[in-house]
C-alpha cells in the first residue's frame, strides 16, 4: 500500500516562501540600480530662483565706526595740553611767611639771595600774561617771580588782591601764553574725577588725582568768604594757587588749603570753585579791587528741624541772628529771627549765598530781600553801604563748671542768672539779661549747647531769669527754639525739655 507525504517542518515552509519571492526581489533590485544610474547621469535642470530670495543670508550691515574719544579723556594727552597753563610762583620777602604755621600749602623752600621764598602755584587765565593764584602765596611779598613750564622766568606785578576770598591776580610781560579754559563749577558733581597740579614741595609741577568729595564747605576759617569744593586729590606745600581740573582739561577750581589735624595732607583738600574764581578775576582785571557792599546782618543756615520751628514747609533760606544797629538791614526793617528767602530774586540757600551776592552788588546799591516773618512773606528794600570791618566780639563770660547751677527745665542743662550790668560789662549791651549755661549733660550737648552760652530767648520770648525760661517751656512738643548768645553772635538751637 503506497504511503502519502509526511508532515512539513517550519524550516521547509520558509525555504518554499523564499524560493517563490526570490525572483521578484532580484528584479526589483535591478530596476532600482538602473534608475539610480540614470538619475546620476541625467540630473534634473536647476529651477530658477527669484531675485528677491537670496540663496545665502545677506551679509550684516557694517558696524558703525567707534565714536571718537572725547578730547582730554586720556590723562597723558590732557596733561600735555594743560601743563603750559600752570606756573610756579615764588614770593620773596625779607622775613618768614606769615602763613608758615597754618594749614595753607605754601611754605619756605630755601634761601634765595637773602630772602625767604614762599612757594606756590598759579594758573594762566589770559594769554597776555595774567595769572591767578592764592592771596596768601604773595601776601606781603617784596618780589614775585613766576616760572613757566618751559623754565622761563619772569618778574610779576600784582594787578589786584582780594584777601576775603584768598585770590590775587598777577601779570608777567609775556604774550602768546596758553590760557586755561574754565569749567562751570556749579555743574560739578560729587564723585566726579579730578586732577590737581602744583609746585608741590617746590619740586616743580606734580600731578595727583582724586574725586570731588563734597561741595559748599564753609565756616573753616580759611577765608572770610568760603564756598569750597572738597577733594581727595593729594596736595602738599607749594600746591596753593594750582588748578583742579576735570577730565576735559577745564579749571574746576583753585587749590587753596587742607583740613588737617597733623599738619600734613589727610585726604581733604579745599578748592575755591571756578565760578567764584572767574567772578573775582573779572572784577580785579576791570577795577583792580573789589568794592563790596555791606548789608549789616549775621545769619545762620536753616536746618529742616529749624524750618519746622519757624513754620516753614522747606529748609530754604537763612535765619537772621544779629542786625547791626543803624546798618542797612536795620534801616530796611530787618529783624532778628527773620528768614531771608531770596535776594534780588536769587534764592538764598546758605550764608555764603547772601553775603557774597550782597558784597558783589557793590556799595550804595539797593537790593530787594524776600523775608519770612512769623508765618508771612514780605519784601524789604535795603541800600547797601561800603563794607565795614566788624567790631571785635565781646569778651566771653566765665564758663567754668558751677556746682550751684540751677536746673533749667531743659534736658541736661543747668544755668545761673546773669544781670544786665554784668552783660554790659562784658560788651553785650543789647540784651536785658539771660541765663548762663553752667552745666551740660548729653541731651543738651547733642542739641548744640555749650558751657558758657547765654540763653536769652525761648520760643521768641525774652529770658531774664529761671521763671521766664519755665514760662517759655509751657508749650506742646518735646523741644523748644532757644536763642543763645556767644562772643561771635547769636545762634538758634532746638533743645529738648
Residues 486, 142: Cα–Cα separation, whole Å: 40
Residues 472, 497: Cα–Cα separation, whole Å: 11
Which is the catalytic residue, given 99, 136, 356, 468? Answer: 136
The question of whether 52 is a catalytic residue gets the answer no
CA 405, 406, 407, 412: dihedral to nearest 10 degrees? -10
Question: 17 to each of 6, 12, 14, how far by Cα in Å?
Answer: 19, 9, 5
- As to burial, measured by CB atoms within 10 angstroms (0-12 exposed, 13-18 middle, 19+ buried), residue 176 is exposed
Q: Which residue has the cell 606734580?
A: 206
Q: What is the CA radius of gyration of the chain?
A: 42
Give yes or no for a contact between 415 and 397, defined as CB atoms under 8 angstroms apart.
no
Grid coordinates of 353: 549765598
Which is the catalytic residue, given 166, 301, 353, 453? Answer: 166
Residues 222, 271: Cα–Cα separation, whole Å: 11
The question of whether 353 is a catalytic residue gets the answer no
The question of whether 166 is a catalytic residue gets the answer yes
Question: 307 to each of 246, 462, 463, how far by Cα in Å?
Answer: 36, 21, 22
Which is the catalytic residue, given 168, 240, 274, 490? Answer: 240
Give yes or no for a contact between 329 and 296, defined as CB atoms under 8 angstroms apart.
yes
Residue positions annotated with a catalytic role = 136, 166, 240
Amino acid at each position: 500500500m503506497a504511503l502519502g507525504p509526511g508532515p512539513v517542518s517550519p524550516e521547509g515552509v520558509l525555504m518554499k516562501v523564499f524560493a517563490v519571492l526570490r525572483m521578484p526581489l532580484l528584479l526589483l533590485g535591478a530596476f532600482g540600480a538602473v534608475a539610480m544610474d540614470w538619475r546620476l547621469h541625467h540630473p534634473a535642470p536647476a529651477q530658477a530662483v527669484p531675485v528677491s530670495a537670496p540663496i545665502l543670508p545677506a551679509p550684516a550691515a557694517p558696524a558703525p565706526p567707534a565714536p571718537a574719544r572725547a578730547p582730554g579723556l586720556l590723562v597723558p594727552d590732557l596733561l600735555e595740553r594743560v601743563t603750559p597753563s600752570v606756573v610756579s610762583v615764588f614770593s620773596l620777602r625779607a622775613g618768614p611767611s606769615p602763613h608758615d604755621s597754618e594749614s595753607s600749602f605754601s611754605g619756605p623752600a630755601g634761601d634765595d639771595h637773602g630772602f625767604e621764598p614762599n612757594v606756590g602755584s598759579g594758573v594762566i587765565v589770559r594769554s597776555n600774561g595774567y595769572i591767578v593764584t592764592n592771596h596768601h602765596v604773595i601776601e606781603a611779598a617784596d618780589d614775585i617771580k613766576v616760572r613757566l613750564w618751559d623754565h622761563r622766568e619772569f618778574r610779576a606785578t600784582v594787578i589786584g588782591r582780594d584777601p576775603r576770598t584768598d585770590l590775587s591776580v598777577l601779570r608777567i610781560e609775556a604774550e602768546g601764553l596758553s590760557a586755561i579754559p574754565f569749567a562751570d563749577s556749579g555743574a560739578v558733581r560729587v564723585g566726579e574725577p579730578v586732577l590737581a597740579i602744583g609746585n608741590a614741595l617746590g619740586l616743580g609741577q606734580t600731578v595727583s588725582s582724586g574725586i570731588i568729595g563734597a561741595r559748599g564747605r564753609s565756616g573753616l576759617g580759611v577765608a572770610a568768604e568760603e564756598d569750597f569744593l572738597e577733594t581727595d586729590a593729594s596736595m602738599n606745600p607749594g600746591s596753593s594757587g594750582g588748578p583742579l581740573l576735570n577730565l576735559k582739561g577745564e579749571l574746576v577750581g583753585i587749590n587753596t588749603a587742607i583740613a588737617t589735624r597733623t599738619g600734613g595732607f589727610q585726604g581733604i583738600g579745599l578748592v575755591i570753585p571756578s565760578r567764584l574764581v572767574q567772578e573775582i578775576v573779572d572784577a580785579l582785571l576791570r577795577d583792580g579791587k573789589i568794592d563790596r557792599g555791606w548789608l549789616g546782618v549775621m545769619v545762620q543756615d536753616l536746618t529742616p528741624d529749624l524750618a519746622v520751628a519757624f513754620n516753614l514747609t522747606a529748609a530754604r533760606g537763612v535765619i537772621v541772628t544779629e542786625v547791626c544797629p543803624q546798618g542797612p538791614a536795620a534801616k530796611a526793617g530787618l529783624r532778628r529771627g527773620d528768614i531771608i528767602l531770596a535776594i534780588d530774586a536769587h534764592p538764598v540757600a546758605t550764608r555764603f549765598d547772601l553775603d557774597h551776592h550782597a558784597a558783589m552788588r557793590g556799595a550804595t546799591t539797593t537790593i530787594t530781600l524776600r523775608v519770612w516773618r512769623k508765618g508771612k512773606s514780605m519784601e524789604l528794600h535795603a541800600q547797601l553801604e561800603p563794607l565795614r570791618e566788624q567790631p571785635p566780639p565781646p569778651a566771653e563770660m566765665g564758663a567754668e563748671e558751677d556746682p550751684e547751677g540751677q536746673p533749667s527745665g531743659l534736658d541736661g542743662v543747668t544755668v545761673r542768672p546773669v544781670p544786665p550790668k554784668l552783660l554790659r560789662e562784658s560788651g553785650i549791651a543789647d540784651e536785658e539779661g539771660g541765663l548762663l549755661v553752667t552745666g551740660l549733660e548729653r541731651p543738651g550737648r547733642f542739641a548744640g549747647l555749650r558751657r558758657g552760652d547765654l540763653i536769652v530767648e525761648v520760643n521768641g520770648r525774652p529770658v531774664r531769669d529761671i521763671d521766664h525760661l519755665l514760662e517759655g517751656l509751657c508749650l506742646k512738643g518735646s523741644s523748644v527754639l532757644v536763642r543763645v548768645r556767644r562772643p561771635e553772635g547769636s545762634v538758634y538751637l532746638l533743645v529738648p525739655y
